[in-house]
Amino acid sequence: MSRRTVILGAPGAGKGTQAQRVCESLGMEHLSTGDLLRSAVKAGTPAGTEAKGFMDAGKLVPDEVVFGVLFERLETGNVAGSYMLDGFPRNRAQAEELDRRLAARSEALDQVVEVNVPDERIVGRITGRRICKGCGRNYHVEFVPPTKEGVCDDCDGELYRRADDEEAVVIDRLAVYHEQTAPLIEYYSGRGLLVTVDGDQPVDAVTGAVLGALSGNVAESN
């Protein structure tokens, strides 16, 4: 059965880490608007050129640009079956547009998982993040270190730090999250779609909690 899900949480809460693991485990597709936008920036597409300044500053990219990259993928990119949206929606207008687009296909969201991590943990998580240039695998210098410093365990690729992972930008991203994205918790909770998991525990434990939430075996929920 197809399942349409969203993973929600502050920057650095572990959305990408968990979406990748859970999608691998359940055979779902992981669709990250941050990754789609970074690919567009790298490829120098018009959407990427427009998005870059907003991303570097830690601001939200205009909705129309995000709709372009995501819905092109979702509606024409052969995404069949189950998926998990990561980094989308990020404000009320995006949530409503998602509902409209799904309804036009006689579909609806099945579940929203919020990964909850206290703000005081966020800066350390993000400034310690390293990503593989080759395969995109995500590490953390302290919590999820590679076997050999600066080198990916999977493909020997070089690890780098995202441009928007500087502390000052992270603080702005967190403010944007609280102002524009966190209200979606109530939006989805009110519709009975939201499950909240404690993201302030080791990676494997969070994965277990997210998998439990998706299977209806919920330890902590709203």
- Indicate which residues carry an active-site annotation: 15, 90, 129, 162, 173
Cβ-based neighbour number of residue 61 at 10 Å: 21
Tokens in use for 26? 């359940």
C-alpha–C-alpha distance, residues 131 and 6, integer Å: 22
Instruction: With CA atoms as reference, report the closest residue to 54 among 186, 172, 136, 161.
Output: 172
Instruction: Determine the interface stretch with ligand AP5 among 82-90, 97-105, 145-153, 209-217 (rule: CB under 6 A).
Output: 82-90
**Residue 206 interacts with ligand AP5 (CB under 6 A)?**
yes
Residues 139-158 touching ligand AP5, rule: CB under 6 A, are 139-140, 143-144
Q: Does 68 bind ligand AP5 (CB under 6 A)?
A: no
Q: Which stretch binds ligand AP5 (CB under 6 A): 15-23, 76-84, 189-197, 214-222?
A: 15-23
CB of 71 to ligand AP5, least distance (A): 12
Backbone phi, psi, residue 7, to 5°: -110, 130
Task: Give the CA dihedral 105, 85, 113, 168, nearest 10 degrees.
Answer: -140
Query: Residue 66 interacts with ligand AP5 (CB under 6 A)?
Result: yes
Q: How far is the CB of 104 from ligand AP5 (least distance, A)?
A: 19
203, burial (CB in 10 Å: exposed 0-12, middle 13-18, buried 19+)? middle
Piece of 14-22, 23-31, 74-82, 97-105 that binds ligand AP5 (CB under 6 A): 14-22
Q: Should residue 125 be labelled a site residue for ligand AP5 when binding is judged by CB under 6 A?
A: yes
Residue 159: strand pairing partners: 132
- Closest by CA position to 18, among listed 10, 7, 32, 34: 7
Q: Which residues of this chain interact with ligand AP5, rule CB under 6 A?
A: 9, 11-17, 33-34, 37, 54-55, 58-61, 66, 87-88, 90, 94, 125-126, 128-129, 138-140, 143-144, 164, 173, 199, 202-203, 206
